[in-house]
Structures are given as C-alpha cells and as structure tokens.
Structure 1
Amino acid sequence: MSVREADQFLKLDGGGHGLLDTTHFDTVRFPPPEWASSAIQEAVSNGAWAYTPYRGDPEVLQNLADSISSFMGSRVSADQLALTPGTQGALFTTLSALVDEGDLVLLADPDYLFCERILAFLGARVERVPLDLTGPEPTLDLEVIEQFMPEQPRLLLFSHPNNPTGAVYPESMIARIAELAVEGGFRVLVDELYSRLVYGTVPFPHLRSQKGMEDRVITLLGPSKTESMSGFRIGVVVAPEDVIASVEQTLAMTSLRAPAYAQRVLAKWLSDDDDFLQQRIADLESIKNDTVAALSQVPGVKLSPQAGTAYLFVDVSSFGVSDVEVARALQQEAHVVVSPGYQFGPRGSGHFRVCYARDEAEWAGALERMVVCLTGLANGAGIFGP
C-alpha cells in the first residue's frame, strides 16, 4: 500500500484514539519548564505583543541571537533568525523557500518522516544517503554525497541527532560534510531539534561552527521536544540573510507569523536552565535503559541504542511480517501506537520507532504488553496466525 494508505490504515494522525501513543512525548509526565507558564501569561496580558513582523518580534530575535550564538559556538545575528509555527513550520517554509521543482536534494535515510513528503510536494528529485549504525560511530555514507556532486545538488538535508534512530554524528563526519558542501557549492539544512537531548558525555558538533558554513548551512531549532513546548508552536530558523528573506516571504503567505504570544517564551530558552535540562536528561535516560532491557527480551529483536533523542528504532525485520503489520499488532494487542519504519525511508522498513518519554508506571505496563505481543509475532503466533 502507499504511504498515505498505510498511515490511514493505522490511523497515524496524531490523535491517539484512546491508545497509548508513543509517536510523541508525554507532556503530562514531562511538562514545560515552570517559567514557560508565567512567560505566556505575561505575553497574553500585553495586547501590544499580539502582532509582530513576519519573521518575529525584534526584541525576541535579538535576545535569541545572543543565546543561540553561545549554544552553537558560532556568532549569530538577529538578521539571521526567523521564528516559525513550530519546527515543522520551519522545515516547510525553509524548503519552500529554497527548493524548486526538479531540484536535486540529498536526504539521509532513514530520517524525519515529513522531509521526503514535503520534498515530493515541492516536486524535488530526492536521492537518499544511507545512515550506517554498524560501525564504532554512526555515520552517513559520504561517498554517496560525493557521487552526486557532479550533478550539483541543491541541498543536503538531515536531522541531528537523527530522527528516528537518535544517532549523534562524530565531529569528523560533520567536518567532512562541511568540506563537501563548500567544494560542491551546495547548501545543507540540518534539523537540530533534539540537539539539547544528548546523553552522557557524547559531544554534539554543530555544523554551523565548521569552517565555511556560516553562509551555507540552515539550522532548525526549537523548544518543542526537550522542553515539551510542542503545544506552543514555535520554531527557529538560523540561516544566511538571503535565506531568511525568502523564509520571511513564505511565512507572510502561509501564516503571517509564528504565534506572537508564544514567541515570548523564547526569552528564557537556552539560558539559566541547566538544572532543568540535566534532570530531564537523567529521567529520560533511566526510562531509556528500562525500555532497552524490556525489549531485549524479545527473540529476534535488534536494538542499536544511540546517544540522542527519546526514541528507539527497533529492528523487527526477522519476524517475517512488515512493519505495518507489527504496528497494527501492537495497536490491537498491546494498545500501543508506534511509528512504523516505512515512514522514515526505505532503510526504515522492518523497524518501528517508539518514544519512551512516558510516565514510568504506565510505561512499565505498556512494555509488558509489547513484549508479549512482539514475542508472539517473533514465534509466528501473533494476530496474523502461524
């Protein structure tokens, strides 16, 4: 079946439908920081803040420029920023501003499920760059990028940390991507939505801090995941000024601006929240370890836990049934919604993505049901028969 048919078949529309929905974070267990509530209430009480320029309130942008500069290790000016309706809005408006019909775009595989769908909507030609998790460090197949360089790609697109696998790339790979971009004359769009959600002492290299990339890379950021502010619908584009100008025009035509009151919550984002961030990462890492331990009990399941995000990308290719069928069984038997791997590209087939940012007690029961269901499938005794 087609991607659209499979989504409709599994009711993957973000609604949950009364099931435990692991396609996104549990924002009850993991609420936004305390300062977010007071910031939004202050904004709502000031009607003068209801309308802003298309790319964002100038005061907010100036404050963000300083905090993002510190975070990324690369100087950012307010003229290099635009605020969007969520990071999803950042992805669509930026791709709409940059990509024309027939343009060659290189896309990591697997990667965030809406990337290829947006590119198809825009009429781009997509060629996939495989992600390899089998070596000592995760890496994209850079030889594939080199292979397509004579065809003058318009853009390289990837998420970092990778969604769905959680992979954090080594600095050597990020540095080589920068060299290839400069050599090949193409731009790179990197979605760093999860760049604050990295475990242990693994360093996170920002592509923008690499030599020659300030005028060549577009970085997407936002507080929707690590800080659980998805409901605020606010994203950030960090890009060269010519790209920001095009993004601004796209914003004007699609949404006028990011939610103006929500823009004000960014005043405290990326600053003075180390205690909050460390506690959140510690809580999620504990749940991650429990999730890995539980799913490792299932015969035939292969796990490659990575250093970022709150996702596991579970390999069930040995079961002999499709990832759509596995997702359907988990819905019907375990009452849990997962994201089947086909959504993330061809290399995602035979996997499913699960978000373990859940309430611990509720998640423990769900894991027990999942283990029973998956073990049945592994043994050929699931709902599809032997």
Structure 2
Amino acid sequence: MQIEPGFPTDARAAVRALRSSKIREVANAGMGQEDVLPFWFGEPDEATPGYVRAAAIAALEASQTFYTQTLGHPRLRTGVADYLSRLHQPIATDRIAITSSGTSALMLAVQALVSPGDRVVAVTPLWPNLVEMPKVLGAEVVTVPLSFASTGWALDLQCLLDALKPGTRALLVNAPNNPTGWTLARETQQAILDHCRRHGIWIVSDDVYERICYEGPCAPSFLDIAGETDRVISCNSFSKAWLMTGWRLGWIVVPPALLADIGKLIEYSTTCAPPFVQLAGLAALEQGESTIARTVDRLRRGRDHLAARLQAIAGIELAAPSGGAMYTFFRIDGVSDSLAFCKRLVAEGGLGLAPGMAFGPEGEGFLRWCYASSTERLDEGVRRLARYLEDTRPDHRGPHGH
C-alpha cells in the first residue's frame, strides 16, 4: 500500500518485534460462528456465581462508581491478606495491591523490575503474554524448556539453575503451568529460592492456578517459604478459581519496600480497579471456598474424562493427567505446524483448540485443550476431532474408525 506522509510507522522496534497472540488468531477465525465448539481460551463454561454478581449489583446500587484508592479498596486488600495468610503464612496488607486483572499484576511486576538489556529467564512452554512482557521493556528473555514424557512434564532443575547465572534480573515461573499443568515440587521450589537469594535474582511467580490443584487445597507457592523481604513477587487473579474471567480483577504481593513503586505504576496505568468489581471480589473471597471446591472437582472429572477419550484415538500422545491448571497439552502424529492445523480444524472440523506454538517453540506440534467444560461438551469436541482426523487421514482409525 502507499504510505501517506506523516503516517505513524515508527512504533518502537521492541514493540514491532512482539509476537501476536496465536491463540487469538485461531479464535478470531472462529468466534461468532455457531457451528464452532471452542476450547481455545482458559475459561470455564460456567457463569460467575450469583453471590459475586449480587455483590457487584449492590455496590452499583450504592453508587460505588467513583475512584477508589490506587492500591485498592481497603476491605479487599485486607480480605486478600487474610485469604493468603490462611493458605500460606502470615501476609500483611502492606504487601498487597489490587490490580485490574492478573495480567496487569504481571505487567506491573515486570515494569517495576526490568530495564532495557536486562536478562530474564522463563520456564516454558508458557502463556505467551508472560514471555513477551519483558520484551516490551527491551529485556532479553532466555527460556528453559520443560521436557515431555508419558509420565508428565518435568523440569531439569540443574538446567534452570545454570540459566539463572549471576547478573540475571528475574525468573518468570508459572506453576501450576499454562499450558502443561506442570506443578513445582516443594524441594525444587526451595532450591530455586535459595539459588536466587544467593545471586540477587527476582522471582516473579504467576500463581493464577494455585487453587486449581488436584493434589491438595493449594499448589506449593513461593509465598509458603519466602520471607517478606525476599525478592519474590506473587501475581494472582480472581479469574479462574472464582469463575470471574471477564471481571478483570487481580492482586500482586511484593516486599513492603516495593509497594509504593507499584502504587505509582498503577496510578500511571489504570488509576485503580473499579470499586464495584473490587467489592464483588471481596464477596468471592468471603463466600467462595465451596465454589472453588466444586470447580476443582468438576475440573478433575473433566481432566480425567478428556484424557481417557483422547487416548482412545490413534496417533494422539499426551502426558499423564497433570497436577494442576485446566488444560490437556497433547500432540498428534504428523502435526508439525500447530497454527495451520488449528485453523483448518476450526474451518473444516468446527473445533477450536489453541496451537502449541503460541506457547513458544517448545510447544510446537502440541495442541492445548481447556477442559473446563461439561463432559457432554468435551465428548462432542472429541467426536469432532476424531471425525476430522478420519476425514483428512485415510489411514487414521479412532473411535469412529473400523
């Protein structure tokens, strides 16, 4: 095309180099089509609980529509502190800021820590937003891949520690992990913390799935073992455990000395989270344990059901059911371009999955399926996948084969 004089083409090179979301690219090809069954986003198919919605409505009716404190509504900050103190160890309110989503919490952490040219290490495959955030600030991101086996995804601890060499600014880790479901063992977590303490490396932990854990009430957290002055930042969200993806509400836990700087960044980005949304979040914390228990039980059944159905299809390989999160990350024989495959699957098979390459080169050849759905919906998805494979691969035999 012809560029008119003055056309703004001079976006920063670091911004132009960012990866666009390949999950969104697939979703955009199928959203709004009634004949497409979507499992591409990390989102339950259930609505937010009524008591959360009622709290928001009551807050709106009480005119809770004005600016609130930058660090968050005092009642919600106290509520988060109490909640975390029950799960982990005592966490004071002066370490907590409320954010406009868990994504915002992660970006605030990166903005507070990372400068151009800094070295950041990330454990991958990983949600693409978290890998790209440091690049917005001009940092270099070095990845340490998990390994895939039928017994599950695993971390080579020594490989990670070798990558965390002196001079590294921060480690980005998400466990339970999106997309693999990998969860950190406590002894591994302690080894990472000890190493980062010795070398002055920050740990930024994306803890959004800590309650979506199938081996206990909460996944192991750095908040269990770190002191308040350790270089540890925990970012979390109301989205997953409380079925609140569209509410865009989260929090960040930092050392007390860093909180004022986080407040400045909030002021210059979002000003504050909406007060009526914050009061809905408070209701989630106060009344939501039964919701979390029911959700985890439902997800466990979905995880096991989907794994069994996929394993019955020839040519599909997946790890043993994971310890956390809400995804099955699997591969199909012959699929080397996961993005192209997912686009064809949407157009020709009416099924929406996330391409593994969206989570980094380590994920190429894999597909991510969010199983936060009813078994009936999962069954229909499996039928569509099996039918598509049969139609496009004459030698394929699955549940619908002969």
- Give the TM-score normalised by the residue count of structure 1: 0.89
Partners of 1:138 and 1:169 within 8 A in 2: no
Identify which of 161, 178, 190 aligns with 2:176.
161
Ranges in structure 2 where 5+ consecutive residues have no aligned partner: 1-17, 397-402
The answer to whether residue 27 in structure 2 is matched with residue 24 in structure 1 is no
Tell me which residue corresponds to 2:236: 221
Counterpart for residue 90 of structure 2: 75
Q: How far apart, CA to CA, are the structure 2 residues paired with 1:250 and 1:203?
A: 30
Deviations for 1:123-163, whole angstroms, at most 9, x for unmatched residues?
11111112134396754332233323444111000111001
User: How far 1:348 moved relative to its partner?
Assistant: 0.6
Task: State yes or no: 1:360 paired with 2:342.
Answer: no
SS in 2 for 1:283: helix
Is the contact made by 1:111 and 1:164 (CA closer than 8 Å) also made in structure 2? yes
| Structure 2 partner of 1:370 | 385
RMSD: 2.6
- Partner residue in 2 for 1:330: 345
Task: Give the equivalent residue in structure 2 for 1:92.
Answer: 107
Q: Which moved more, 1:239-248 or 1:199-208?
A: 199-208
Q: After superposition, give the CA deviation of every residue in 1:37-91 in whole Å (9 maximum; x if it has no partner).
A: 12111211222562211121122212221111112x1221111111111111111
SS at match of 2:268: helix
Work out the number of aligned pairs and report it.
Answer: 378
Asked if the contact 1:297/1:371 (under 8 Å) is kept, the reply is no
Cα distance in 2 for residues equivalent to 1:8 and 1:282: 28
Which residue type is aligned with residue 79 of structure 1? D
Q: CA deviation at 1:251?
A: 1.4
Q: Which of 244, 269, 279 does residue 294 from structure 2 map onto?
A: 279
1:52 is aligned to 2:68 = yes
- Which residue of the partner structure matches residue 384 of structure 1? none
- Distance in 1 between the 2:150 and 2:194 partners? 22
Counterpart-to-counterpart distance in 1, 2:337 and 2:77 = 46
What is the match of residue 355 of structure 2? 340
- Give 3-state SS (helix, strand or coil) of 2:317's partner: coil
* Aligned-partner Cα distance in 2 for 1:93–1:12: 28
Contact 1:139 1:170 in 2 (8 A): no
- SS at the partner of 1:67? helix
In the alignment, is the contact (CA less than 8 A) between 1:199 and 1:307 conserved in 2?
yes
Q: Decide whether aligned partners of structure 1 residues 365 and 208 sit closer, same or farther in structure 2, where only a CA change above 3 A counts.
A: same
TM (norm. structure 2) is: 0.86
Amino acid of the structure 2 residue aligned with 1:357: A
Contact map agreement 2:181 2:324 (CA 8 A) in 1: yes
CA displacement at 1:373 relative to structure 2:
1.8
The Cα shift of 1:201 comes to: 4.3
CA contact (8 A) 2:232 2:254 kept: yes
Report the equivalent of 2:11.
Answer: none
**Aligned pair partner of 1:43 in 39, 56, 59:** 59
1:105 deviates by 0.4
TM-superposed CA distance for 1:276, in Å, is 2.4
Q: 2:80 aligns with which of 60, 64, 78?
A: 64
* 175 and 137 in structure 1: CA distance in 2 versus 1, 3 angstrom threshold: farther
Residue aligning to 1:10: 26
Query: Are residue 269 (structure 1) and residue 284 (structure 2) matched?
Result: yes
1:177 Cα offset (Å) = 1.0
Question: 3-state DSSP class of the match of 2:318?
Answer: coil
d(CA) in 1 for partners of 2:130 and 2:89? 26
Q: Does 1:170 align with 2:185?
A: yes
- Equivalent-residue separation in structure 2 for 1:102 and 1:306 (angstroms): 35
CA distance in 2, matches of 1:315, 1:176: 31
1:312 deviation in Å?
0.6
Uncovered stretches (5+) of structure 1, i.e. residues with no partner: 382-386
Matches within 5 A, 1:221-260: 221-260=236-275
Q: C-alpha deviations, 1:166-195, integer Å up to 9, x for none?
A: 112211111111111111111101111011
Q: Percent identity?
A: 25
